[in-house]
């Protein structure tokens, strides 16, 4: 009950600040309100489509397929499959976390799931194309050549660490 009251109080203070900023033309508060509206509008456009696709993923992809390619017996090919999935994921981490939970429920090993979340943050094709246009192809190549091995290494280490301790994720 105490946490709910703090949460409600925080929301009231936040929205009171934003509304007060518009009433008294306080520019930083108005910018915060504008950012909230823009962010919410972007999420409303992405989330419904993403959840439909995640639902289809849950229904169409069989547990046996995930266990075979991404499960305990998967090898380097499992990381290649997860790289392809991560590179084609649209919607960023909004979509990646529900897909990661679905992969876990269907029997994917933890190191593959950790690699997926890390690779989604780094290797999405639309983001990389945007980056190449505005920064440079050289930068993207350097970023990928450093990020991908570090993500894979850290995900393998974390996956092995948690699996040895029989860690369970609550989904």
> DSSP string of 116-167?
HHHHHHHH-HHHHHHHHHHT-HHHHHHHHHHHHHHHHHHHHHHHHHHHHTT-
Q: Which of 60, 89, 106 delimits the end of a domain?
A: 60
Question: Which tens digits make up the pLDDT trace of 43-54?
Answer: 888 778 878 888
Burial class (CB in 10 A: 0-12, 13-18, 19+), 23: exposed
pLDDT grade for 146, boundaries at 50, 70 and 90: very high
Find out whether 147 and 122 touch, Cβ atoms under 8 Å. Answer: yes
- In this structure, are 102 and 55 located in the same domain? no
Q: Are 106 and 30 members of one domain?
A: no
Q: Which domain-ending residue is among 19, 36, 60?
A: 60
Q: Indicate if 49 and 130 belong to the same structural domain.
A: no
Residue 116 confidence class, pLDDT cut points 50, 70, 90: very high
pTM of the model: 0.73
If 0-12 CB within 10 Å is exposed, 13-18 middle and 19+ buried, where does residue 112 land? Answer: buried
Residues 148 and 167 in one domain: yes
Structural domain range at position 35: 1-60
2 and 49 together in one domain: yes
Quick one: 99 and 154 in the same domain? yes
Residues 25, 10: one domain?
yes
Residue ending a domain, choose from 13, 40, 60 = 60
- The pLDDT value given to residue 169: 67
Domain count for the chain? 2
Do both 106 and 86 map to the same domain? yes
- The reply to whether 78 and 45 lie within a common domain is no
Q: Answer yes or no: do 162 and 95 share one domain.
A: yes
Residues 78-94: tens digit of each pLDDT: 888 888 888 888 777 77
**Pair (110, 169) in one structural domain:** yes
């Amino acid at each position: 009950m105490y946490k709910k009251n703090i949460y409600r109080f925080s929301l009231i203070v936040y929205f009171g600040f934003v509304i007060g900023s518009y009433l008294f033309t306080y520019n930083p508060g108005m910018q915060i309100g504008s950012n909230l509206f823009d962010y919410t509008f972007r999420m409303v456009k992405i989330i419904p489509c993403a959840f439909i696709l995640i639902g289809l993923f849950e229904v169409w992809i069989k547990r046996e397929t995930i266990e075979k390619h991404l499960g305990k017996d998967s090898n380097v090919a499992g990381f290649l499959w997860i790289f392809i999935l991560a590179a084609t994921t649209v919607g960023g981490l909004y979509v990646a976390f529900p897909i990661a939970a679905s992969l876990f429920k269907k029997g994917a090993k933890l190191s593959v799931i950790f690699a997926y979340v890390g690779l989604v943050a780094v290797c999405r094709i639309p983001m990389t194309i945007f980056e190449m246009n505005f920064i440079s192809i050289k930068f993207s190549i350097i970023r990928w050549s450093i990020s991908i091995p570090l993500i894979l290494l850290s995900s393998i280490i974390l996956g092995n660490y948690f699996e040895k301790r029989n860690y369970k994720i609550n989904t």
